[in-house]
Amino acid sequence: MTITRSTRRSTVLVVTIAGLVFPSLTPGRAAAAAELPRWIAGCWSGTRGAERFTERWAVADNDTLLGVAHTVKGATVSAFEFLRIVVRGDRLVYIAQPGGAPPTEFAAPPADQSPSAITFANPQHDFPKRVGYRMPGVEALTAWIDGGAGSQAPRIEYAMTRVPCEP
């Protein structure tokens, strides 16, 4: 068989199209990147008893959400936390720094992500082992923590509503 210039171009075109349509078949090509849960962005607040808790999330770039959370009991800040959600390949990673402590990471594989809910896990962490967010409505966000599947530790939920972002 004689390979002509036209045959070579056709072969290259078919291989290129196959690589675009079926990227998992292309050697050395990375898996699709995860999508940030941009629906978390904004300011959220809720109460439980005498405590008021607030989370502020901002999209920093295509791969990073930055957050800060604090709890007020009475007139005093009783807890605060620096938060990040970052894209790492096909996973999202939740990075928490409660009280400014060193970062603790929780990963969310694609199976634990949906358009309105996400679960991050770190089975090696003492508590919590899982951190999750779900958006039951446009103006509502629920954050939760628990001790993982089968744990005796209670699940703690933080039901919040969207509030204006104050300076």
Reported as half-sphere exposure (CB side, CA atoms, 13 A), residue 101 has a value of: 10
> Helix, strand, coil % (nearest 5) of the chain?
15, 50, 35
Q: Give the model's confidence band at 26: pLDDT under 50 very low, under 70 low, under 90 confident, else very high.
A: very low
CB distance 51 to 72 below 8 Å: yes
Q: What dotted CATH number matches 38-162?
A: 2.40.128.20
3-state DSSP assignment of residue 104: strand
The reported pLDDT for the residue numbered 150 is 87
The reported pLDDT for the residue numbered 54 is 98
What is the distance between the alpha carbons of residues 63 and 86, in angstroms, rounded to a whole number?
5
Record the tokens describing residue 111, joined without a space: 């199976």
Domain ranges of the chain: 1-30, 38-162
The reported pLDDT for the residue numbered 19 is 38
Reported as half-sphere exposure (CB side, CA atoms, 13 A), residue 121 has a value of: 11
What is the distance between the alpha carbons of residues 68 and 127, in angstroms, rounded to a whole number?
19
* Full-model pTM: 0.80
3-state DSSP assignment of residue 99: coil
Nearest to 34 by CA among 130, 104, 120, 108: 108
How does pLDDT run across 102-141, given as a tens digit for each residue? 999 999 988 889 999 999 999 999 999 999 999 999 999 9
How does pLDDT run across 28-83, given as a tens digit for each residue? 334 456 899 999 999 999 999 999 999 999 999 999 999 999 999 999 999 999 99
User: Pick the residue with more confidence: 2 or 128?
Assistant: 128
